[in-house]
Structures are given as structure tokens and as C-alpha cells.
Amino acid sequence: MNSRVFFALVVTAILIAPSGSSAQQQLGLELEQRAPIRPGEQPSIPLDVEDPSYNLWRTLRDFSQDDREPGLINVQKYDLGMAWAGIPTFFRKPIALTPADLKAGKVEVAVMGGYLDMGSGMRGAALGPNAFRNSDVYGGWGPLADAPNMHTMVDPMKDLVIADFGDAPIDIMSTERSLGAIREFVRSAVEVEYEPGKNVMPVIIGGDHSLMYPDVAALTDVYGRGNVGVIHFDAHYDAGKYGFGHLINHGMPVYRLMEEDLVPGPNFIQVGLRGYYPGRETFEWMREEGMRYHSMAEVERDGWDAVMERVIAEANDGHEYLFISFDIDTIDPAFVPGTGTPEPGGLLPREAFPIVRRLCAESNVVGFELVELNPLVDQTYVSAMVANRVVRECLTGVAMRKRGLTDPHYISPLAAEHAAFVAETPASDGDTDERNIVPAARIADPIFGPPSDGSNLFGPMAVAFLFGVVLTAAVGFSYRAGRSRERSDRSAAVARDVRP
Ligand SMILES: [Mn+2]
């Protein structure tokens, strides 16, 4: 290996794989010997605070000139639109420019963009938010659209008040300067109560994973330090300590949140770790910190269903509020090539969707972020489409919770079973086989409930169907009988006429 290759490997390893605790300390000592940090050392080129454009990226325009009352602004022309049409807001929802708009519109979920990508070695995630705004592929949008989530028959687009809150302010030359502004921006939404005691839920679309630090910090600003747990879906543990002197990049937000006592170690529940780091010492450090992690090694050993149940149980253990940080690289690059640090061997969409939906239905999720979507390396629209669906699954879960559908792994019987009597099919040996019995709670459906349930419409529908069959047969028979009589009369007449 020549020195250039070696250097590239070291740089890559440091950039994407800052390791933890004792390993981190060793790495740090080595780095200090090689590139000592001198007392009082500052960046060699300071910022020009006299520059009149210094804060231009975060300066709001004067909304008082808009001549309107606070509230939601619908920017669409039509009540119904196709997925690929219309003004591209998140889910084609109305926009809210200010916290007063959120308040007046009684918004429950504010979706916002974080076009940050300097924390990633591979740029392009800054284009993620607008790729997401254009990622709808489902039926249509608007108040006349009918597009429930099929697994649950719950339609979050109808059940929830959702708005596009615009993008967080970003200094495209500095992650460090951006993060405080992002934290304030997210907090400005979370602080709004749409009902007494119920705060707006932020959904942040990134953008690189550095966002996790300001996003979670904004929630702890409102809900209190230590009160927020984080379900962290990721191929990577993102708890790095060192990154070329920077205290934050997309591999470091977990460490930052712990270091600043905003989120204690046991409040982190990580899902989907795989690849070739962390190493042994870092895993030991994670255990010392009490972090709860579920790697793909655990999935390989125990199966996804078992791991999903563990995560759901831990989500409701040890903290009052929950934030979900979903790095799209959790999902296998076969389905999501469009991300900065792809890692083979990840979750299938079919595994990721139910756990996200369940977490948002079965636990107290107060915020969500979808990060590391990078359309520059998305050869098709597939990564944005999968990202869209991940967020829709969470919104479906939030809508289910609002309706009280919080039973473990609720699935709509209407969508999952073609007929109610499947529920009572006995096993071939005559004994009742438990595998063939669907629990009563799952078949409490107004149309296709079990025939024994007098409250459902199955009986009347069956009677109406049989009546229809009999009527059709009777009409058909009398018609055919008439035609056949007519035909034989005509043949007789013809026979008469041709008779010599
Ligand atoms: Mn990440």
C-alpha cells in the first residue's frame, strides 16, 4: 500500500469512524502527538463579523408586509392532485411561515427541511429536503384524495393537521454556525401548543446527521434535559469523539448530546449497526455508558421480529418522551443507494416500516428526523421514495395513536384477510389449530367481522347477495324461455312456408 492510499484510508477512517472512550482516548493521544493542539490555538482565518452579510442566511424577510392574518397558507390550486404534480411542499401540505401560523392553524406536525451537508464526507445531502418534497408516488394529494395506509386503514393525511414549516436557516460555509440557528428554528415550532399541554411535533428532513444534535437539543430545551429518549436507527453508532478538531460532524451527534448531558447514555437505543466499526473497545465503552444497541448481528442471531419487540419495549422504558432519529442508511443500499455512507446488509423496507409505525403508535414520540438522504447518488427516485414512506409510516403511527389504536402491532383485518371465516378454519385433523385463529380484537370490523357477531353487516350482506343471485337467475331463465318459444314458433312458420 503506497503512502497516498494509506493516508486516504486514515482520513476516511477518522472521518467516518471516530471511535469511543478508551479507543477514542488512544486515538486522540496519537493525533495530539502527530498534530498537537497548541494552547490558545484558533482557526487561522477568523470570521469577519463586520461583514454586512454575516447573518444574511438567517435573516427572515418582513412578514408584516404580507397583509394577512396568521394561519395556514394553501399554495395548491386544486383539491385533488397527482403525486408528481402541484407545488412541491412536504406531502403537498399547506405552509406555515411563522410559529403564529402553526398556532393559528392548530398544526400537530410541522415538517421542515435541514439542508445541511458539511458534516458528511460526501456532499449532496443538502439537496435531501427538496428531493423529499418531490418524492410522493402515492395516488394523489389534497382533501379529496383517499389514500389510507393499507396496513392499518388509517390516513394520516386526513387525521392529522400537517404543515410544511419551510427550511431551517443554514450557513452553507459552517456547520458550527448553523447548528445554533437550527436548534432555535426547531424549538420555535416545538414551543407552540396546538392544544393546551400538546406541543407541535417536528419532523426534520435532512440533511446530514449532524442535525441530530440541534434537533434533539431543541426538544430537551422544551421537555427538559434527560427526559427525551432517542431511538437511533443507523448503520453507524455516530458517537465519535474526534473529527479533525471539530466537535460535531455527522458521525458525532450522539457523543455531543451525551457530553453536554442533554441525553444520558441509557436513553439511546440504537438499531441497525453493522459494518466494520465500532471495534471491541468502543462497544465496551458503549456498554459502560449504558447505551442500548441492537446490531444486525443480533438480528442475524435472533431474527427481526424478536429484535423489534425488544426495541418497542425499551422505547417505553426510562424516559417520558421519545425522538426517532432515522438515518436512511439503516435500510440496505439495495433499496437506498442515495446516501453518503452506504453499508450493505441493512434492514429491508419491509422490516423498517412496521417498527417505525409501531414506535409512533405505541410510544410517546414527540419528534422525528429522516437524515442522510442524498439525491446526488440516488440513481433513480428509489431512495427518496423509501424515505418518504418511512416518514409516512411514522405519521400513520401518530394518527393511530390519536385514534387510540395503540394495541401491539395493530393491523387492519380488512386489509390483511380476504374473508372473516379464515379466522375459524379448523386444522385438517379436526382439532382447533391456534395458527388458524385470528384473535377477536383483530376481527372487530364493521363489515367483515365474524358471522357470530350480530353487530356486523356480514349476514345482511350475504342475504342481499343470495337474493341478487336468485333474482338474476329468475330473470335470465324467463328471458331464455321466452326467446326459445319465439324461436320454435318462427321455425314452425318457416317450415309451413317452404312446404311444397
Ligand atoms: Mn448517521
Ligand 1 midpoint to CA 166 (Å): 23
Ligand 1 midpoint to CA 268 (Å): 13
Please give the pLDDT value at position 3. Answer: 47
Q: What is the 3-state secondary structure (H, E, C) of 253-317?
A: HHHHHHHCCCCCHHHEEEEEECCCCCCHHHHHHHHHCCCEEEEHHHHHHHCHHHHHHHHHHHHCC
Range of the domain at 288: 9-36+56-403
Ligand 1 midpoint to CA 237 (Å): 7
Domain assignment present for residue 363? The answer is yes
Please list, residue by residue across 249-261, b when 16 or more beta carbons sit within 10 angstroms of its beta carbon and e when fewer do.
Answer: bbbbbbbbbbeee
Ligand 1 midpoint to CA 330 (Å): 8
Average pLDDT over residues 38-60: 85
Cα-based torsion angle of the residue sequence 3, 7, 9, 14 in order, rounded to the nearest 10 degrees: 160
Please give the pLDDT value at position 436. Answer: 44
- 469-485 pLDDT, tens digit per residue, is 777 776 666 666 556 56
494 pLDDT above the threshold of 80:
no
Higher pLDDT, 437 or 179: 179
Please give the pLDDT value at position 461. Answer: 63
Average pLDDT over residues 412-438: 61
Ligand 1 midpoint to CA 222 (Å): 24
The mean-pLDDT minimum among 220-229, 231-240, 434-443 falls in: 434-443
- Whole-model pTM: value is 0.79
All cell numbers assigned to 87? 407545488
43 pLDDT above the threshold of 60:
no
Can you tell me the distance from the alpha carbon of 120 to that of 480, in angstroms, rounded to the nearest whole number?
A: 77
70 pLDDT above the threshold of 50:
yes
Please give the pLDDT value at position 492. Answer: 54
- Which residues 6+ apart lie within 8 Å of 348 measured at CB? 331, 332, 335
Ligand 1 midpoint to CA 394 (Å): 19
Average pLDDT over residues 257-284: 96
Please give the pLDDT value at position 447. Answer: 42
Ligand 1 midpoint to CA 491 (Å): 85
Ligand 1 midpoint to CA 411 (Å): 30
Ligand 1 midpoint to CA 328 (Å): 8
- 97-147 pLDDT, tens digit per residue, is 999 999 999 999 999 999 999 999 889 999 999 999 999 887 789 999 998
Ligand 1 midpoint to CA 351 (Å): 18
Length of the chain: 500
Provide the sign of the torsion angle of the four alpha carbons 242, 246, 250, 256, taken in this order: positive
Ligand 1 midpoint to CA 396 (Å): 24
Domain assignment present for residue 254? The answer is yes
340 pLDDT above the threshold of 60:
yes
Average pLDDT over residues 143-159: 95
Ligand 1 midpoint to CA 233 (Å): 8
- Which residues 6+ apart lie within 8 Å of 133 measured at CB? 88, 89, 90, 113, 164
Name the one residue in this structure whose C-alpha cell is 418518504.
388
Higher pLDDT, 21 or 73: 73
Q: Is the bond leading into 214 cis (omega within 30 degrees of zero)?
A: no
Domain assignment present for residue 449? The answer is no
Ligand 1 midpoint to CA 235 (Å): 7
Domain assignment present for residue 467? The answer is no
Ligand 1 midpoint to CA 341 (Å): 8
Domain assignment present for residue 489? The answer is no
292 pLDDT above the threshold of 50:
yes
Ligand 1 midpoint to CA 482 (Å): 77
Domain assignment present for residue 278? The answer is yes
State the CB neighbour count (10 A cutoff) for residue 456.
Answer: 19
Ligand 1 midpoint to CA 234 (Å): 5
Ligand 1 midpoint to CA 87 (Å): 30
Domain assignment present for residue 398? The answer is yes
Q: What is the CATH number of the domain that holds 247?
A: 3.40.800.10
Count structural domains, the chain.
1
Domain assignment present for residue 311? The answer is yes
CB 278, CB 237: distance < 8 Å: yes
